[in-house]
Amino acid sequence: MKRVLATATAAGLALTLAACGSSSTSSGPAPGSSAPEVRTLTVLAAASLTGTFNALKSRFETDNPGVTVTISYGGSSDLAQQIVNGSPADLFAAASDTTMRTVTDASLTTAAPTIFATNVLQIATVPGNPKKIVSFADLAKPDLKVVVCAPAVPCGAAAAKVEKATGVTLKPVSEEPDVKSVLSKVATGNADAALVYVTDVTAAKGTVQGVSFPESSQAVTNYPIAVLKNARQADLAARFQELVTGELGQKTLAAAGFGAKK
């Protein structure tokens, strides 16, 4: 699986990790002992987790000599289907209960998933907000080019919930497979606005502008994580999950704008 390069946000999160002190996940071999066993931990994670998980990956590899963490990011629904179809992986972090349920209904996790964070939608606009978008209802204006996630993707499902709650129907020019693809449409000037997570706007660091709207509270997204039943590195997967759900992981997620776990 491809390795995703850390963004500027991931670099900032790495500083947060360093400031939090050493982790207890593992320690290196004692002087004179043999070299640590080389192992690879394979993680599938929602695209909106890119910055935080890249930072946690670096910390985990430092604290576990010989271990390489390979993370594949994408739309949660696509990743869940890959797992059901037999794609080899050790750990799955999804951006909704529904997409995780695809995996648990197939009895492919070792235990019930743990909610480790929450997220809410935010409107991303071109810097300076030239179209003067100030509300969710503004996205329905006919002269706007709006992009959203595909309905099967968690951010798309969240957008549909807000539409239902507000009675506002959007007519997007594009429905993308994951939230990063949605954000890029605005960042590259191919759309006037998009519905993404607040954490994605934060990670974009000025390439887009965020507009909050109160109706986002109608579609809070849970982030569940679970060790997969066919994991080849189940012990490492459990330790990475502990890192994510523990104090260090929670501080890293909070710094990126995620809400607290339940």
Average pLDDT over residues 66-94: 97
User: Which of 88, 128, 21 is closest to 231 using CA atoms?
Assistant: 88
Rg (alpha carbons) of the chain, rounded to whole number = 19
Q: Write down the domain spans for the chain.
A: 8-118+222-255, 121-219
Q: E-strand spans in the chain?
A: 39-46, 67-74, 91-93, 114-119, 121-125, 146-149, 174-176, 193-197, 209-211, 221-227
pLDDT band of 37, cuts 50, 70, 90: confident
pLDDT at 12: 47
User: Which of 114, 120, 164, 171 is closest to 141 using CA atoms?
Assistant: 171
Q: At 112, phi and psi to the nearest 5?
A: -60, 140
CB distance 228 to 107 below 8 Å: no
CA distance 39 to 68: 6
What share of the chain has pLDDT > 70, as a percent?
Answer: 87
CA distance 233 to 39: 8
Average pLDDT over residues 10-38: 53
DSSP-based three-state secondary structure for 99? helix
CA distance 214 to 49: 23
The token pair at 67 is: 């271990």
Report pLDDT digits (tens) over 173-210: 999 999 999 999 999 999 999 999 999 999 998 999 99
Average pLDDT over residues 230-250: 97
Q: Half-sphere exposure (CA, 13 Å, Cβ side) for 235?
A: 5
Indicate the DSSP class of residue 64. Answer: S
Cα separations in angstroms, 246 against 20, 23, 239, 240, 243: 12, 10, 10, 10, 5
Average pLDDT over residues 121-125: 97
CA distance 224 to 183: 23
Average pLDDT over residues 113-133: 97
CA distance 43 to 79: 10
CB distance 63 to 27 below 8 Å: yes
pLDDT at 225: 98
**Fold (CATH) for 121-219:** D-Maltodextrin-Binding Protein; domain 2 (3.40.190)
Q: At 162, which helix (H) or strand (E)?
A: helix 154-166
Higher pLDDT, 227 or 12: 227
**Topology match between the domains 8-118+222-255 and 121-219:** yes
For 8-118+222-255, CATH number out of 3.40.190.10, 1.10.579.10, 3.20.20.80, 3.65.10.10 equals 3.40.190.10
The token pair at 133 is: 């978008």
